[in-house]
Amino acid sequence: MRTQVGIIGAGPAGLLLAHLLHIDGIDSVVLEARSREYVENRIRAGVLEHGTAETLVATGVGERMRAIGLPHHGVNLRFRGRTHRIDFLGLTGKFVTVYSQHLVVQDLIAARLAAGGQIHFDVEDVSVHDFGGEAPSIRFRAESRAETLACDFIAGCDGFHGTCRPSIPAGVLMIHERVYPFGWLGILAEAPPASEELIYANHERGFALLSMRSPTVSRHLLQCAPDENPEAWPDERIWSELETRLGTDEPSWKLIKGPIVQKGVTPMRSFVAEPMQFGRLFLAGDAAHIVPPTGAKGLNLAVADVRVLARALERHYRAGASELLARYSETCLGRVWKVQRFSWWMTSMLHRFEAHTGFERRIQLAELDYVAGSRAAAMALAENYVGLPLELP
């Protein structure tokens, strides 16, 4: 088998890269370890930055997102029982779109297959070879047959637990990591969200987030221990804790309960691998970095990476110029670190830290008061949340 760009991973990064390359007439093959059914139904966050939504629409895969996605013109911060709205539209002229990640994946897979794109699901034993030279290749097993994909470049879009990052020779990568002393207990409930916009709550007992997937499906998150057992949280306990942490001095406001159809705990970390490339192997998305979900940036950062990579590959094939490829990591890391900062800041401002002294707790509440009371501070949150402009060299 041969292609121009071998892509490992059919998550948002790998699929959007394949789609963008196709638009530029560049051939690719996507290799995915899981089944199509699995990746199309893997529930993840679903807040699309303004630029992400624009990219989907501009490249012809945004139709359903525009039809059923929920435009959100702001978010709410709730602390000390008071609610403070951050007006994205008024402050930045932009908004975000609530549209589940698994729907983005479905839309991209449908577009690739309709265009005759090659996506091999359920592949096994994927390994990358000779990417330090001019003729990299990917070996894998498909339907128990050993295959080799010869390519010009490899895109490692295989997520945090993939094979590409670990395949980079020892001593090359510098890893930066912060593991947080808490995780999130997340639920999906068949209940209309009790707010049209997201509510991020800082409460003495811990963080809570009211989010949603649709007008009839709520998504709620509760700060918990990083190794919390979801089974220790029967539905009644979850609803009771959400009501406490999302409590407000608005007497008319009430959380809406309903059957909980999914429950899970995710730990929380910040992680960056530098550089994001080695020879003809390029890391993109979660393969290169992880952000705490408080800023809703994981998907959006993956999109930014592959927009840079697609542009660099287009320049290589169309103009025979490889300077953008040589600067891929440097270009991406500029944004990665600004998004890491924002995600760390939102996480630090909104969660309860057992190790906090009285001083640190009051500094945290002062931070919230400042954001709630200052147009400049609210603007800083808003412009990061809707998405910083993507600087394509």
- Binding mask of the shown chain, residues 74 to 113, with x at each position contacting ligand APR by CB under 6 A: ---------------------------x------------
Q: Which of 6, 12, 46, 51 binds ligand PHB (CB under 6 A)?
A: 46
- Shortest Cβ distance from residue 163 to ligand APR (Å)? 4
Distance from C-alpha of 220 to C-alpha of 13, rounded to nearest angstrom: 25
- Shortest Cβ distance from residue 201 to ligand APR (Å)? 22
Residue 50 is among the residues annotated as catalytic for this protein: no
At residue 144, the 3 state secondary structure works out as coil
Contacts of 340 (CB under 8 A, 6+ apart): 270, 272, 289, 291
Q: Which of 294, 340, 347, 364 binds ligand PHB (CB under 6 A)?
A: 294
- Judged by CB under 6 A, the stretch of 9-17, 75-83, 142-150, 232-240 that binds ligand APR is 9-17
Q: Which residue has the tokens 């080695």?
A: 278
- Shortest Cβ distance from residue 175 to ligand PHB (Å)? 24
Q: Which of 47, 104, 299, 349 binds ligand PHB (CB under 6 A)?
A: 47
Which candidate, 386, 291, 343, 336, places its Cα nearest to that of 48? 386
- Shortest Cβ distance from residue 220 to ligand PHB (Å)? 9
Distance from C-alpha of 184 to C-alpha of 262, rounded to nearest angstrom: 13
Tell me how far CA of residue 265 lies from CA of 155, 221, 227, 356, in angstroms: 30, 9, 8, 23
Query: Considering CB distances under 5 to 8 angstroms, the limit depending on partner class, which of ligand PHB, ligand APR, none binds residue 219?
Result: ligand PHB
Residue 45 or 105 with smaller CB distance to ligand PHB: 45
Distance from C-alpha of 238 to C-alpha of 232, rounded to nearest angstrom: 10
Distance from C-alpha of 141 to C-alpha of 366, rounded to nearest angstrom: 56
Distance from C-alpha of 281 to C-alpha of 373, rounded to nearest angstrom: 46
DSSP calls for 17-60: HHHHHHHTT--EEEE-SS-HHHHHT-----EE-HHHHHHHHHTT
Q: In this structure, what token pair is assigned to residue 272?
A: 């960056």
Binding to ligand APR (CB under 6 A) within 266-325 occurs at: 285-286, 298-299, 302
- Shortest Cβ distance from residue 300 to ligand PHB (Å)? 11
Q: In this structure, what token pair is assigned to residue 281?
A: 């192997």
Residue 255 is classified by DSSP as P
Residue 46 or 62 with smaller CB distance to ligand PHB: 46
- Binding mask of the shown chain, residues 172 to 211, with x at each position contacting ligand PHB by CB under 6 A: --------------------------x------------x
10 lies in the site for ligand APR, by CB under 6 A? yes
Please identify which of the residues 99, 317, 328, 385 carries the catalytic annotation: 385
- Judged by CB under 6 A, the stretch of 39-47, 137-145, 231-239, 362-370 that binds ligand PHB is 39-47
- Judged by CB under 6 A, the stretch of 41-49, 83-91, 148-156, 314-322 that binds ligand PHB is 41-49
At residue 253, the 3 state secondary structure works out as coil
Active site residues: 72, 200, 293, 297, 385
Interaction site with ligand PHB (CB under 6 A): 45-47, 198, 211, 219, 293-296
